[in-house]
Amino acid sequence: MRAGATVGGLLREALRERRAIAPVLLWSAVAVLPALVSGRLVALAVDRGFLDGRGDVGLAWLGGLGLAMVVGAVGARRIPPALGRVVEPLRDRLVRRVVTGTLRRAAGGGRNPDLTVITRMSEHTEVVRDTAGGLLLGLQQVAFTVAAALIGLAFLAPIVALLVVPPVLLVAVLLVRLLPMLVERHRESLLAEERVAGTVGRLLGAVRDVVACGAEPQAMAASRTDLHRQARAERALARAHALRLALGLAGGHLALVTVLVAAPWLVAGGHLSTGEILGTLTYVTANLQPALRAAVQTTGGAGVQLAVTLHRLETTTTTPPQPPPDRPDTTSAVPPKRRRSAVHAHRTSDAHAHRPDVESTPGSGGLPTLSGSTATERHAVSMGGNAEQEAGDTAGHGMGVGGGQRAGDAARHGMGGGGGQRAGDVAGHGMGGGQGTGGKAGLGRGLDAGELGGFRVGVEGVTFGYGAEPVLRDVTFGVDEGFHLAVVGLSGVGKSTLASVLAGLVRPQRGGVFLGGVPLEEVEPTWRYATVALIPQEAYIFTGTLRENLVYLRRPASSRGEDGELPDPRSWSGGVGDTATASGTRGDLGICAWPGDGLDGRGAGDGVADAELDAVVEVLGLGELVGRVGGFAGRIGPRCGLTPGEMQLIALARVWLSTARVVILDEATCHLDAGAEARAEEAFRRRPGTLIVVAHRLTSARRADRILVLDGGRAVVGEHDGLLRESALYADLFGRWTVPEAPSGKSTVG
């Protein structure tokens, strides 16, 4: 029933747009003209014309009906555009809500989001758009047609109208009462189908394991259970539909029979003429019956689907993901006391826990595809990606482009100026540093270390885990400012988790991370974002100019904080007029040029001098790439043919240009060749601040001042030679493993 309420909310939301809804009502009234006059004109044509021996008069009345049809068609033509003005803004709002909600949740969560869920969600938005349009169109048509037929009937034969109303009402009431059952069955059927998709996906992804276990019969049996359940749910849904269909038809039939049964008396009593009987039957058979049938189909089809989809969309976008039992959620894992201060401090990252604006409105906006069945019941043309359309091409066109992102990003910190200025509060640190000037690094060390005590990274007794077993156990170490630490360990052992903990993306269950002696969660988030940079293995490149990608993390002194950041309205100016050219271009090049997208990439006030960009190109060896994409103004994107290595270089350059003083490279050079990797690491070593590298190749460990070996959640820190002696794993990794050594005193083996 909650789902029903959701649809109600949507409709209310739609109806609130009075100014937009008025034209819809007006044109609907015009469109329904033929239904209003049809019976009357047929009656006149028969009585005054064909039965009266005056064919021309009969034809004239029918001609009048034809005229009404033309007028009606003009009205009908105006309805969809008018409806579009109601529905498109709703869709905009829904998409906005889904995108913002999803992104905020993903950005706040400790683990990476499930991409399939996300994909399904954008499908759901389209379903809402399709069905809401269909529903509104259908309902409007049904309501007006039924009203017109009954009014026409009332004028032509008031007694008949009285007789017809009760069956119609009865059917309407029954249909509404059956709706909850239909919604429920539809939901069950949808869930059963999703279950099948899940089971089949898991099974077919594990064919090797099934075969290796000789478990084919067991696997087949398990999948059959779900397949049968799905078939049962689908049949139950079909029975409910059939029942409603029968009901809708019965209503129309009942009305028809009522008229016919009453007709002899009406004719004998002189109440109605032959033409008037034909006229009433026209109202019933040509208008009322189809409208009832359409009512069943509209509410049972588009309506139910809309209700279920909205409900699902809402549950997926608004409730935070259920943390599996015992999995420490990133927020819940923090002890109560610290949690309060953390929530206070981490406005941005914790916002997902509150998400006030998402929860407050129950209904969501929805949009149109006109697949709804109409009173005429033919040729539903689908707009947008509904089922009729090949679903395939929606997802991944190879086009790119970014909304020309203004480099104008936030930061309330003044940067620039000489080093060591003091500012009052945590949020207002002056970061000094000759941008684009001094030193090879191009950035002077600027943060006022006074309050923070420098950029030493300290880890004390950190324990963190997603599952039953901690990934990190009581890890303690420190990296002094200006030092370079490499982290090595087997794959899947928790190196990335350690990187996330260091960057403050997840908070440990026990222990703490300190930045310059201050607990990380007490550092103001905006400031933390500007100071600590994590470059993950999967480089993030967005569609836009190379320049925009490079200056992404530069926060000009003049702009406001991230929270108050405004989008540049000019960032998307694609005109409808460009359509034809656009698709052509995209098809040919497969590329990054979405028409009229973005800025031209010429600086646009990002405050970063070309000289600085040139410097990073020089340091990291980006020259060839810059030339290939056409300079800093050249457009790039994740689907534009950059190699993974090039994407990593861009991500590295972006951080190199940033204000960050603690840089964490989490296998960020894994797609580079050994030479390029060495060059990149050297560039960051010479940059002021603290460097932590999760090593992809062991050669990169050799370059570090210190090496941290992570084994079974425990960390050992040392230098190469010492570790070869002290860490069995480190020795093993370097192939220096010699004598098999039984683990002493730890025999759990029975």
Partner 1 sequence: MRIVRDAGGRRAVLRGVWGRSLGWGAVVLVGATLVNSVCALLLPAVLAGAADAVLREGGSAWAAGIWLGVVLIGSLAGASLVKVGEVACTSAATLRIRDLLIGHVLALGLPGERAFSAGDLTSRVVSGAPQVAAAMPVLVGGASNLAVSIGGFVALALIDWRLAATVVLAVPLGLVLMRVFVRRASDLATRYQEIQGEISARMLDALAGVRTIRASGTWRREADRILAPLPELSASGRDLWRAYGRIQGHGTLLLPLTGLAALAVAGQGVLAGRLTPGQMLAVAGYAPMALGVLGQTSLLLRLARLRAGARRIGAILDHPVTAPGVRPLPPGPGELRLRGVTVEGDGGPLLTAVDLTVPAGSSAALVGRSGAGKTTLAAVAGGLLAPDRGHVHLDGVPIDAISPGELRRAVAYAFERPHLLGADITGAVSYGSDASRSAVERAAVIAGADGFVRLLPHGYATPLDEAPLSGGERQRLGLARAFVRDARLLVLDDATSSLDTVTEAQVSQALTAGATGTRLMVAHRASTAARADTVVWLDTGRVRAHGPHDELWADPAYRALFSPAAAP
Tell me which residues in 147-176 interact with partner 1 (CB under 8 A). Answer: none
Residue 11 CB, shortest distance to partner 1, in Å, is 18
List the helix and strand counts (H, then E) for the chain: 26, 12
Q: Which of residues 431-460 bind partner 1 (CB under 8 A)?
A: none
Classify each residue of 542-568 as buried b or exposed e, where b means 16 or more C-beta atoms within 10 Å of its C-beta. Answer: ebbbbbbbbbbbbbbeebebbeeeeee
The footprint of partner 1 on residues 387-426 (CB under 8 A) is: 389, 391, 393-397, 399-403, 405, 409
Candidate residues 579, 581, 605, 618; the one interacting with partner 1 per rule CB under 8 A: 579
CA distance 637 to 401: 6
Please answer whether residues 531 and 502 qualify as being in contact, where contact means their C-beta atoms are separated by less than 8 angstroms. no
Min dist CB 551 to partner 1, Å, is 12
Which tokens is 130 given?
């399709």
Q: Where in 280-309 is the site for partner 1 (CB under 8 A)?
A: 281-282, 285-286
The binding track of 209-248 with respect to partner 1, each residue x by CB under 8 A or -, is: xxxxxxxx-xxx-xxx--xx-xx--xx-xxx-xxx-xx--
Task: Report whether 570 contacts 598 (CB < 8 A).
Answer: no
Tallying the residues shown for the chain, one arrives at 750
Whether 707 and 488 have beta carbons less than 8 Å apart is answered as yes
Interacting span for partner 1 (CB under 8 A) from 145-153, 319-327, 477-485, 602-610: 319-327
Beta bridge partners of 706: 485
Q: Give the nearer residue to partner 1 in terms of CB position, either 94 or 618.
A: 94
Q: Which of 356, 360, 576, 721 binds partner 1 (CB under 8 A)?
A: 576
Q: Of 337 and 741, which CB lies nearer to partner 1 in the complex structure?
A: 741
Q: Find the binding residues for partner 1 in span 72-91 (CB under 8 A).
A: 73-74, 76-81, 83-85, 87-89, 91
Stretch that binds partner 1, among 11-19, 97-105, 161-169, 611-619 (CB under 8 A): 97-105
The C-alpha atoms of residue 423 and residue 673 are separated, in whole angstroms, by 43
Cα separations (Å) of 574 from 192, 439, 646, 742?
41, 42, 28, 68
Please pick, from the candidates 177, 356, 742, 745, the single residue that binds partner 1 as defined by CB under 8 A. 742
CA distance 21 to 84: 10
The one-letter code for the residue type at 546 is L
Q: Which is nearer to partner 1, 126 or 314 (CB)?
A: 126
Q: Which of 7, 44 has the CB closer to partner 1?
A: 44
Nearer to partner 1, 529 or 656 (CB): 529
Binding of residue 728 to partner 1 (CB under 8 A): yes
Residue 538: CB minimum distance to partner 1, A: 6
Quote the DSSP letter at residue 431. B
The residue from 33, 45, 593, 615 that contacts partner 1 (CB under 8 A) is: 45
Q: What are phi and psi of 190, to 5 degrees?
A: -65, -45
Q: Contact at 8 Å (CB) between 407 and 605? A: yes
Instruction: Kindly give, in sequence order, each residue whose CB lies less than 8 Å from that of residue 224, ignoring residues fewer than 6 positions away.
Output: none
Stretch that binds partner 1, among 143-151, 155-163, 308-316, 574-582 (CB under 8 A): 574-582
Q: How far is the CB of 747 from partner 1 (least distance, A)?
A: 8
Query: Closer CB to partner 1, residue 337 or residue 360?
Result: 360
- Distance CA(210)–CA(525), nearest Å, equals 47
Considering the complex, what minimum distance in angstroms separates the CB of residue 5 from partner 1?
Answer: 26
The reply on whether position 472 binds partner 1 by CB under 8 A is no
Q: What's the min distance (Å) between Cβ of 219 and partner 1?
A: 6
Stretch that binds partner 1, among 17-25, 272-280, 312-320, 415-423 (CB under 8 A): 272-280
| Centroid of chain to Cα 449 | 40
Q: Which of residues 15-44 bind partner 1 (CB under 8 A)?
A: 34, 42
In the bound complex, what is the minimum distance in angstroms from residue 453's beta carbon to partner 1?
Answer: 22
Stretch that binds partner 1, among 125-133, 159-167, 513-521, 599-607 (CB under 8 A): 125-133
Q: Which of 443, 532, 653, 693 binds partner 1 (CB under 8 A)?
A: 532
Q: How far apart are CA 369 and CA 58, in angstroms?
A: 41
Total binding residues toward partner 1, as defined by CB under 8 A = 217
Minimum distance from CB of 569 to partner 1 (Å)?
A: 9
Of the ranges 155-163, 206-214, 307-315, 427-435, which one interacts with partner 1 (CB under 8 A)?
Answer: 206-214
Choose one: 62-70, 158-166, 422-430, 628-636; the region binding partner 1 (CB under 8 A): 62-70
End-to-end Cα separation, the chain, in angstroms: 56
Q: Which of 334-342, 477-485, 609-617, 697-705 is the region at the interface with partner 1 (rule: CB under 8 A)?
A: 697-705
Alpha-carbon distance of 95 to 89, in angstroms, equals 10
Residues in 477-516 that interact with partner 1 by CB under 8 A: 490-494, 500, 503, 505
* Residue 317 binds partner 1, judged by CB under 8 A: no
Rounded to whole angstroms, how far apart are CA atoms 433 and 423?
A: 15
Amino acid present at 132: A
Which residue lies nearer to partner 1 by CB, 337 or 562? 562
Is 275 in contact with 42 (CB distance < 8 Å)? yes
Query: Which SS3 state, helix, strand or coil, does residue 335 take?
Result: coil
Tell me which stretch binds partner 1 (CB under 8 A): 14-22, 426-434, 479-487, 634-642: 634-642
Among 5, 69, 191, 343, contact with partner 1 (rule: CB under 8 A): 69
Q: Which is nearer to partner 1, 221 or 611 (CB)?
A: 221
CB 323 within 8 A of CB 332: yes
The set of residues, in sequence order, having a beta carbon less than 8 Å from that of 155 and lying 6+ positions away, is 40
- In angstroms, the CA 226 to CA 544 distance is 45
The answer to whether the CB of 36 falls within 8 A of the CB of 1 is no
**CA gap 52, 58 in Å, rounded:** 9
What is the distance between the alpha carbons of residues 706 and 710, in angstroms, rounded to a whole number? 13
Pairwise CA distance, residues 222 & 205, whole Å: 15
The one among 510, 712, 718, 724 contacting partner 1 by CB under 8 A: 712
Contacts of 48 (CB under 8 A, 6+ apart): 54, 57, 58, 61, 275
Restricting to residues 349-388, name those near partner 1 by CB under 8 A.
349, 367-370, 376, 378-379, 381-385
Return the residues of window 652-671 that contact partner 1 according to CB under 8 A: none
Comparing CB distances to partner 1, the nearer of 360 and 491 is 491
Write phi, then psi, for 15 (nearest 5 degrees): -75, -15
- How far is 444 from 499, CA to CA, in rounded Å? 25
Among 469, 588, 721, 745, binds partner 1 (CB under 8 A): 469
Among 144, 283, 552, 632, binds partner 1 (CB under 8 A): 552
